Chain A
Amino acid sequence: MSKIYKHHLFWPLCVLAALLLFNLLYSPDFFSITMHDGHLYGSLIDILNFGAPLMLVAIGMTLVVATKGIDLSVGSIVAISGAIACLTISKGTDQNALGLVTFSILLAVGLSIILGAWNGLLVSVAGIQPIIATLILMVAGRGIAQLVTDGQIITVTSTSYSYIGSGSLATLPFSIFVVAIALVIALLLTRKTSLGLFIESVGCNPTASRMAGIRATVVIFAVYIFCGVCAGVAGLLLSSNVSSADGNNAGLWYELDAILAVVIGGTSLNGGRFYLAGTVIGALIIQTLTTTIYMIGVPPEITLVVKAFVVLAVCLIQSETFRSSIVYRRHKRQDTMKKEVARRVS
C-alpha cells in the first residue's frame, strides 16, 4: 500500500481523479460517450482531442527540462509550423491531393527540426543559458509566423489535412494516436536505450557526464531538436483542427502550459529526473481543468484565478515538504533522511 502511495504518478493521478469526480457530481452527463457518425462523442473525447497538442509539446519539453534546460519557443514553433503547412496547402491547385498534404506536413516538420536545431545550437555549442537562447526564437518566431501568413488568417478547405486534427481512427480522435506514437518513441528511446540515462546525467551535471564519456553537447542538441519536432507536429494538429492558421494566436502561451504539465507530472525543473507518463497526466489535468471551467460556467473574468488556485493546490499536494509539514502537526516528524533515501532508491 505504501508503495502505491510513494509512486511518482500517485499524486498527479489523484488530482486528475478528483477533477473527474467533481465533474461527475456536477453534471452526470460528463462521462456519457455516444457513437456519432462512426466515432465516439463526449466530453472525455474532447479532452483527449484538445489536450493532444499540449501533451505532445509537453512530452518534448520533458526531455529538455530533464537536461536542466527549458524551451520557451515551443509556442512560436507551433505557430510557424501550422502557418507553413496551411500556406503550402492553400497555394496548391487541388487542396485534397494527398501528395500536397504530405509535402506540406514534411515541410513543416522539416522546418521545426531546423528551429529545434537552432535552439540546440545556441544552448549546447554557443553555451547560452537555455531560457535566453529559446527566448530569442519565442519572440522572433511570432514575427516569422506573421510574416508567413502575411498577418492574415489562412483558411484551408482540405479534408485530408483536417483529418490530422479532427478526424477519427477506430472511433477515437486521430490526434491521440499521434501523441501515442510520440510517447512510445520517447519511452523506447529513453527507457530501452541508455539515452534516458545520458539525458538524466547531463541534467545532473554536464561536466561530470562529459568526464564520464558522455557527449553532453550532442545529447542537449538532440533533445532540443526532439522538442522542436514535437511542437511542430502539435502545430499541425492545432491548425488542422480548425482548418486554418493564425500566426498571431496559434500556440500563444503554450510554453507555459507545457512547462506546467511537466512540473505537475513530477519532473523537477532542476533536471536530472523525468517522468514522461507523469507529463501526459499533467497535460490531461490542465485540459480537464479548462474544459471543466467552460462546462460549469465560471465567469471569464475570474477564470484565470480559478485556474491559478487549482494549480496552486496541485503543486502543494505534490510538494513533499508541504505534505510532511502538515503531517508533522499530528505525528512526530519521521526520519526525513530515511524517506529521502527510500525515494531516491525507488
Chain B
Amino acid sequence: MKRFGKMSAVLALTFCMSVLGACANGGNNQTGAASEGSATKAGTTITLGFSQVGAESGWRSANTKSIQDSAKEAGYNLKFSDAQQKQENQIKAIRSFIQQKVDVIAFSPVVESGWDTVLKEAKDAGIPVVLTDRAVDSKDTSLYVTFLGSDFVEEGRKAGKWLSEQYKDTKEDVNIVELQGTTGSAPANDRMAGFAEVIAANPHLKVIASQTGDFTRAKGKEVMQAFLKANKDIDVLYAHNDDMALGAIQAIEAAGLKPGQDIKIISVDAVKDGMQAASEGKINFIVECNPMLGPQLMKIVKDVVDGKSVEPRIVTEETTFTSEQAKEALPNRAY
C-alpha cells in the first residue's frame, strides 16, 4: 500500500510536469506565430544571419559591435551567432540559418578550408552568402556572392609607400627591422609581401632583421630588445600590428632611445592604444585595418536582396594616419 502511494505520487508529479510542459510549449508556439506574423506584415524586413569568429581581440569586438549597430540602424533583423573560434560551431550556425530561411547569410570564416559542403547547402536553399574579413579557399566561387574585407597586401604597400616617400632623397642606407605577425598567418605573409614589394624600388631601404612577434606585446618587446642589442644602427621599425609596436616602444625607451625620433615606427591596425601612441609621436605612421565593416555589409545585403549585381571582391574602406592625423582622429575613435 505504501509503495502504491509513492508510485501514485510519482505519477501525479509526472502528469503535472507534462501539463506544465505543454503549457510552456503552447506559449512558445504563440510567440513564434506572432513574430512570424509581424514579419510577413512588414513584408520588407530583411533577415541577416551573421556568424562571427569569436571575441578574441579588441579588433574583433569592434567588428561585432559595428555589425550589430549598423544592422539595427538599417532596420534589419540580425541573427547573430558567436562561433568561439571553432569551425564546427560556425557550420552549425550556418545550417540553422538555412533552416530559419534567412534572406542573407554573412560570416567571417574561422579557417580557410572545409566550407564547400555547407556553402553548397546554402546555395541549394537559394540563400546568398557574403564573406567578411577573411576568405575561404573554395575553388567554386559561385558558392558566395562576395568577399568583403581588408587587402593585407595593400596595407603592406601603404606602409612601404610612406617609408619610400620619407627617404626618397636619402644617400645613405636606411636600416629597417621588421616585427612579423604569427608565422604563416595571412595578415603576416601579406603585410610582409606588400611592404617588401614597394621598398624594393629603393636600394637604400634595407630590411636588416625580421622576426616574428606573434602579434603580441610581450613578444614584440622581447624581440625588439634583442634587435637593439644585435644591431647598433636601426633607423626604422615596421610592425605588423599595433600591439607589437607598443611592446617595441617600451624596449626602445628602455634602451634610452626616443621612439618616433631615433627610430621611426610604422605599424598596422590603428587600435586605440596604437592611436594614442601615434598621437604622442611615438608611432610615426599607422595603416588602418578597419573593423567597422557594418555599414558596407548592410549596403551589400540590400543590393543582394534587391537583386543587383555585386562585385566579387570588395575592399574595406581604409585610411592611414600620421602622428598629426592620429591626434585629430583619436577623440572620435570607436575602438
Contact = CB atoms under 8 A, between A and B. Distances in A.
Interface of A: 27, 29-30, 36-37, 41-43, 46, 50, 146, 150-153, 155, 166, 238, 241-244, 246, 248-250, 290-291, 294-297, 299-301, 303
A300 B273 contact: no
B230 A295 contact: yes
Main secondary structure of the interface of B (DSSP, over half): helix
Interface in B256-285: 256, 273
A242 B247 contact: yes
Contacts of B254: 41, 166
Contact of B229 (A37, A42, A299, A301): A42
Interface in B181-220: 183-184, 209-212, 214-218
User: By CB atoms of chain A within 10 A, which of B183, B229, B255 has the most?
Assistant: B229
Given A151-B55, A297-B211, A300-B212, A249 B229 contact: no
B57 interface: yes
A250 B273 CA distance: 18
Given A151-B55, A242-B218, A300 B210 contact: yes
A294 B227 contact: yes
Contacts of A36: 255-256
Contacts of B256: 36-37, 41
Contact of B225 (A46, A238, A244, A297): A46
Given A153-B243, A294-B222, A244 B57 contact: no
Main secondary structure of the interface of A (DSSP, over half): mixed
Contacts of A153: 57-58, 217, 243, 273
Interface in B39-58: 54-58
A49 B246 CA distance: 19
Nearest to B225: A46
What are the 6 tightest A-B residue pairs by CB atom distance, in nearest-first order?
Answer: A294-B226, A151-B55, A300-B212, A295-B230, A242-B217, A249-B216
B223 interface: yes
B150 interface: no
Contacts of A243: 250
B180 interface: yes
A30 B229 CA distance: 8
Interface string B218-259: 100111011101100000000000010011001000111000
Contacts of A27: 230
